[in-house]
Amino acid sequence: MQTKLSLLILAGVAWPAAAQEQPLSAIDWLAVQRNAPPVIVAPDSVPSRPVAQSATVPDVEVQSLDAPGAGGAGLLPGSVTGLPQTLWQGSTETDLIALLDPMQTRRPTVPALTGLLHILMLAEADPPASAQGDMLLQARVDLLYHHGLVPPAEALMERVGTLTPELFALAFDLALLTGTDESLCAVLNNTPSLSTDLPTRIWCETRSGDFAHAMTIYQTGEALGQLSDLDAELLLRFLDPEYAEDSAPMQAPVRPTPLQFRLFEAIGEALPTTPLALPFAVVELSGDSGWRAQLQAAERLARVGAIDGNQLLGVYTAQRRAASGGIWDRVEALQRFETALGSGDPAAISTALEQVWPQMRAAGLLVPFSNLFGAQLQDLQLSGRAQDIASLSGLLSEGYEETARALTGTGDARLAFLAALAQGQRPQSTPSNLPHAAALSAAWAETAQPPADIAPLPAQNRLGEALLMAVQKFDTGAAGSDADLTGALRSLRAFGLEDTARRAALQLAILDMEGARR
């Protein structure tokens, strides 16, 4: 699947258009990057023969042709995303970072906008004209990290080329979680100026097999008081196994660093990832810590779009449940539903669907579930509540337009409203019992225009900033500001992101409506 963002001509500036499909997931980004066609730019004119003005040898800056500057690094070229190279160019680094910082921990309200945000973070684009872009790159990588997209963030760092100490620290944290830190340790051992962090230096010395030097660094740091109490104890147990064997287990920190997490693992006191920050869930996807830990990690990551539904389904169906209650009931319901769907029996499917839907709703996984099964449910003759669920699932899926066309003429006012939005039409009526209905309907008015603070930005080479502001307005709109919600959707539509606007509107209405059933 290749996602492309279609951008219209705005304010006299023409951008390359591409058919927009579903936002990239963490599974798709690498395939897209590998399959992306090369971009060849023809010269405007044949240059005249150069003539030297002096015999002075000029200063020459050398850079690998395939190594973009740090500020412009990205995994998704404009030929894939449809986004212009000038995405950030007219903005200031300070303004962009101010928009991104809150989004690290407060993710967009709906998956459609989370997907858009991830594409923006992975896009190749020139940095702001007023800066080299190192700080913006750090903010982009930080956001991907906090959203659980650790492998894509690590791949983005690999495109940077020469690392600064600040970028090395980011890359090292990512590598610790993916288990690929050995190569970075070799870089650090050859270039010690990249990090003054003593635990990092000690860890990397042991990775090269020089435990004696690692102990020397530890003893010096401990004598000079340059190690925290936690790091000092962890490193001593790591470097002296006999001491570790005679010591009582350590108390787990509330917010360990990736290196502390690996040190606990190395001394035989591995920390459970469930209470830890989202990036640590990536460690459990291997299944080395057991199926339950893998299930919990997969659900956490799928909930925020860090893995796609197929990977989640693979984990759900890997084994038979070992117990009952909680996540095990969800696994059982999903497996029974998949079996019923394979049987083709409408009665069995109806029963299983009515059981699995509330389980997915409780876990915040209705959108991944719908992307997996929504299309398959549309041609089945289901009964009662199961038919309503199938319609909602179809509207939450990638095939929402086909589902909407089949709902034309339905007597259900809420489904008729949603079907109109799914087809890019302003609904004829506004159900009073549907969340945000009036604000959503207004976004598809014929004379709809983006808010005044967003509309002029793309023409100023500030499209990225405009899209971040639209995501921010959508969130405040979902929290109760109808004007902001309408303005956000109008902005997305005006900038050519019609598909994203429709999916965001459908997801907000349906997820809020279903949330009220809990």
168: tokens are 């090395």
pLDDT band at 36 (very low <50, low <70, confident <90, very high): very low
Count of structural domains within the chain: 1
Q: Return the number of other C-beta atoms located less than 10 Å from residue 44's C-beta.
A: 6
Does the pLDDT of residue 433 top 70, yes or no? yes
| Angle CA 458–444–8, to nearest 5 | 30
Gap between the Cα atoms of 419 and 506, Å rounded: 9
Confirm whether 210 is domain-assigned. Answer: yes
> In which band, very low, low, confident or very high, does the pLDDT at 447 lie, cut at 50, 70 and 90?
confident
The residues pairing with 10 across neighbouring beta strands, listed in sequence order, are: 13
42: helix, coil or strand? coil
Nearest residue to 112 via CA among 425, 475, 487, 495:
475
Least confident of 12-26, 217-231, 252-266, 382-396: 12-26
Torsions phi, psi for 73 (to 5 deg) = -65, 145
pLDDT of 28 > 50? The answer is no
Residue 334 CA to residue 56 CA, distance in Å, equals: 73
Spatial neighbors of 195 by CB under 8 A, at least 6 apart, are 165, 168, 169, 172, 188, 201
Could you tell me the CA-to-CA distances from 411 to 334, 391, 408, 420, 431 in Å, in that order?
30, 13, 9, 13, 12
Question: How much of the chain exceeds pLDDT 70, in percent?
Answer: 86
Q: What tens digit of pLDDT does each residue of 315-365 get?
A: 999 999 878 888 999 999 999 999 999 999 999 999 999 999 999 999 999
This prediction's pTM: 0.85
- Return mean pLDDT, the chain: 86
Q: For residue 348, is it within any domain? A: no
Residues forming beta bridges with residue 13, ordered by sequence position: 10
The region of weakest confidence among 8-12, 308-312, 407-411, 454-458 is 8-12
Residue 246 within any structural domain of the chain: yes
pLDDT at 98: 97
Band (63; pLDDT cuts 50, 70, 90): very low
CA atoms within 13 A on the CB side of 420: 21
Q: Do residues 352 and 340 touch, judged by C-beta distance below 8 A?
A: yes
Is residue 59 situated within a structural domain? no
**229 within domain boundaries:** yes
Grade residue 157 by pLDDT with cuts at 50, 70 and 90.
very high
Structure tokens at 211: 């435990």
Say if 250 falls within a structural domain: yes
Band the pLDDT of 385: cuts 50, 70, 90.
Answer: very high
Average pLDDT over residues 506-516: 92
Range of 241's domain? 202-266
Flag whether 228 is in a domain.
yes
pLDDT confidence of residue 69: 56
Mean pLDDT of 213-239: 96
d(CA 331, CA 315): 9
Instruction: For residue range 368-377, list pLDDT tens digits in order.
Output: 999 999 999 9
- Residues 6 or more apart whose CB falls under 8 angstroms from that of 36 comprise 76, 77, 79, 80
Q: 446: pLDDT confidence band, cut at 50, 70 and 90?
A: confident
C-beta separation of 108 from 114 below 8 A: yes
The secondary structure of the chain in percent helix, strand, coil, rounded to multiples of 5, reads 55, 0, 40
Q: Pick the more confident residue, 235 or 435.
A: 235
Cα-to-chain-centroid distance, residue 41: 31
- Residue 214 placed within a domain: yes
Lowest model confidence (mean pLDDT) among 25-29, 193-197, 508-512: 25-29
* 200 neighbors 235 (Cβ within 8 angstroms): no
Whether residue 342 contacts residue 322, with contact meaning beta carbons closer than 8 Å, is answered with no
